[in-house]
Chains A and B, each alone.
Chain A
Amino acid sequence: MGVVLRYEGTSIIAVLDGELDVATVPRARTELEAALIKPGMRCLILDLTGVNFMDSSGLGFLLGRYRWCMENGWVMAVAGARAQVRRVLELSGLTKIMPVTATVKEALARVGREKE
């Protein structure tokens, strides 16, 4: 599990890779929480292109970040989910709660619209 951060305008793009489960979520959460204390930022995009497995621990992690964004006036989107990740996102209903896009580019366009 790794988290790499990129910044684009007012967006933080967190590129995750590896597997998101009960063992790896605590570290991902700690790293992201530290990253969100950055002035001037308003959007969080979680790039899951490199995540090859996620279960309900990962879903809880996404929902936790989403709640944080809602409470702090940020917008959040999830991008690049591969087949297994996409399936658990759909089964859990998270695709109905938060924006889920195929690519980071689409996510940036989407959060750009939602911010206005």
Chain B
Amino acid sequence: MKENEMHLEFPSRPENVAFARTTVAAFASQLDPTLSELADISTAVSEAVTNAVVHAYPEGEGPVRIYVRLAGRRIMIEVSDEGRGIADLAAARRFGSSTRPGERMGIGLSLIEACMDRVEISSEHGTRIYMEKTLDEQRGVADE
């Protein structure tokens, strides 16, 4: 398929996490993904947006932006915020290390890494989570 892209911006509210993952999944459906690929994309987006909702703006709420690009069989997703950033990225990526323990397991970033092919996280001016996944080749062939 041809390239396509879309942008979303919304406040960092818990109820927008479902909106974000279902919207990105609906957009990704153009690539005719398998159900498990679509589930992995939804999970990864849910985790990245939850990260912004829970951690970015401790004083209240702020903007969360999502940029999605489709190219060939590849989906590239960037979730960013303008919040306080992640102080210790290496620690945050470690399995089971929540900075807000309670009932948060601290595995959000590990789940993203398991669901996507490539993940880059930078945290300088806010946090930016870039993730990418190449979908199964077989399914895209029919509509070319």
Binding site for B on A (CB under 8 A): 19, 21-23, 25, 29, 53, 55-57, 59-61, 63-64, 83-84, 87-88, 91-92
Contacts and interface: CB of A to CB of B under 8 A. Distances in A.
Given A22-B54, A84-B39, A56 B17 contact: no
Contacts, number: 65
16 contacts: A19-B18, A21-B50, A22-B14, A23-B15, A53-B21, A53-B42, A55-B47, A55-B111, A57-B50, A59-B105, A61-B103, A63-B103, A83-B35, A87-B39, A91-B110, A91-B114
B134 interface: no
B105 A60 contact: yes
Interface of B: 14-15, 17-18, 21, 35-36, 39-40, 42-43, 46-47, 50, 53-54, 102-105, 107-108, 110-111, 114-115
Dominant secondary structure of chain B at its interface with chain A: helix
Nearest to A56: B108
B14 A64 contact: no
B107 A59 contact: yes
Given A56-B111, A61-B103, A22 B43 contact: no
Given A22-B54, A55-B50, A64 B39 contact: no
A86 to B, nearest CB: 10
A60 B104 CA distance: 5
Choose among A61, A64, A91 the residue with the greatest number of B CB atoms under 10 Å from its CB. Answer: A91
Contacts of A53: 18, 21, 42, 46
Q: Which 9 A-B pairs have the closest CB atoms?
A: A23-B14, A84-B39, A60-B103, A64-B103, A55-B46, A22-B14, A56-B108, A23-B15, A60-B105
Contact of B107 (A22, A29, A56, A61): A56
A22 B42 contact: no
Contact of B104 (A19, A56, A91, A92): A56
Contacts of A64: 103
Contact of B50 (A19, A56, A61, A83): A56
Contacts of A55: 43, 46-47, 50, 108, 111
A84 B72 CA distance: 25
Contacts of B108: 55-56
A26 B131 CA distance: 28
Nearest to B25: A53
A63 B105 contact: yes
